[in-house]
Amino acid sequence: MITMKHFLILCIAIACQGRAFSQYDHRSRNLKRRRYKRAFTSNPNRMTMDNVTCHFYTQPLDHFSPSTNITFPQRYCVYTGYEAEHARNAYNSPIFFYTGNESPIDEYVNNTGLMWELAAKDHFSALIVFAEHRFEGESVPDYSLLEGGCFTYLTSSQALADFASLISHLSPKHDRPVIAFGGSYGGMLSSWMRMKYPGSVVGAIASSAPVFGLPLTMSGDMTTKEKGGMPNKGTMDGAFHVVGDAVRLPKPDFFKGSTSSSSSPTDEPNHCFDNLLATWPLIQYYGQTREGRDVLSQEFDLCHPIKNMEDAATLIEWAQSPWFDLAGK
């Protein structure tokens, strides 16, 4: 028999769980929409935008050609508190350097924990640096000065050169070891930093980074459909292949309504991959008309009907996110 005490404990547990899920879901939506909420500010050891100092370092728009002399201000944020606490080790202490990726640096400062956890250790006493990726946040060139397309200079090679130049600025004699940190695309950048600029970075810690998921690294015919393969396989990245090949696997018996307990594959053709690729333009097409939006609302059994193209775009983003996460993780 459930007593009142048990009932109250259960209610409290459910409420706490609901609050945690609500906060997580709210935070996830905010990050998606690039609304950066400064959280946990009551903890002085929490690395947030509230306790870092941000500066700007002038970078050339093009590191590899004298064709332009345009520059832009790259924002970077530092935390020196752990150095101050252990000043005797500050000279030889390392620099923990976050290679910023495809968002303003605020997101990574507010949501990266490992760097400040390690930096606080006495044997590290590290200087923490978060570097913003070019064309993100406040690290944006004057678009009116650009020629040949706005994003001509938005490349990973240019971004890596930015980081190498900034590291030289922070440690001109290169007498402090630098460890690069990053997650997802930022993790790829940190790994590539170690590969391409070993004189600047002595190590890298990459989280959820498909480092070798690169274009043109897969074998196969680049112009025709291979037997059992897919068109233009050589031009696609490795993460695309991993997810695509998994979706192409033969369907188990239970997918066609078999009562058999066997999970062996069937001979039925698997059109999942082709159907999946066709989904996104179809959603966009249906989102252009009221009748189409009604169909989407009904087929997806949505709690709130789709009212405009912006709602349809949000639906596409939501539906694509699991595949993006699978490819990136």
pLDDT(2) > 50: no
pTM of the shown model:
0.63
Q: CA 237 to CA 140: how far, in whole Å?
A: 28
Structure tokens at 97: 């350097």
* pLDDT class of 264 with cuts at 50, 70, 90: low
Supply φ then ψ for residue 47, to 5 degrees: -80, 100
For residue 60, list its beta bridge partners.
Answer: 71
- Assign 3-state DSSP to the chain and report helix, strand, coil percentages, each to 5: 45, 15, 45
The tokens describing 144, both together, are 């009116």
Report the distance separating Cα 94 and Cα 240, nearest Å.
36
Confidence of residue 266 (pLDDT cuts 50, 70, 90): low
Q: How far apart are the first and last CA of the chain?
A: 46
* 135 conformational bin, left if phi > 0, alpha if psi -120 to 50, beta if neither: left
**CB 216, CB 234: distance < 8 Å:** yes
Angstrom CA distances, 41 to 23, 48, 302, 308, stand at 16, 7, 36, 38
Measuring CA to CA, how many Å separate 309 from each of 34, 238, 286, 301, 313? 20, 32, 9, 18, 6
At 137-154, the pLDDT tens digits run 999 999 888 876 678 899
Q: Of the ranges 39-53, 105-119, 203-217, 296-310, which one carries the lowest mean pLDDT score? A: 39-53
Q: Which residue has the higher pLDDT, 171 or 17?
A: 171
User: Structural domain boundaries of the chain?
Assistant: 49-207, 233-255+263-328
DSSP state of 87: G
Work out the percent of the chain whose per-residue pLDDT is above 70.
Answer: 67
- Provide the residue type at 150 as one letter: C
Which segment of 21-30, 44-53, 81-90, 296-305 scores lowest on mean pLDDT?
A: 21-30
Q: Do 76 and 108 contact (CB within 8 A), yes or no?
A: no
Indicate the burial class of 131 (C-beta count within 10 angstroms; 0-12, 13-18, 19 or more): buried
Q: What is the CATH number of domain 49-207?
A: 3.40.50.1820
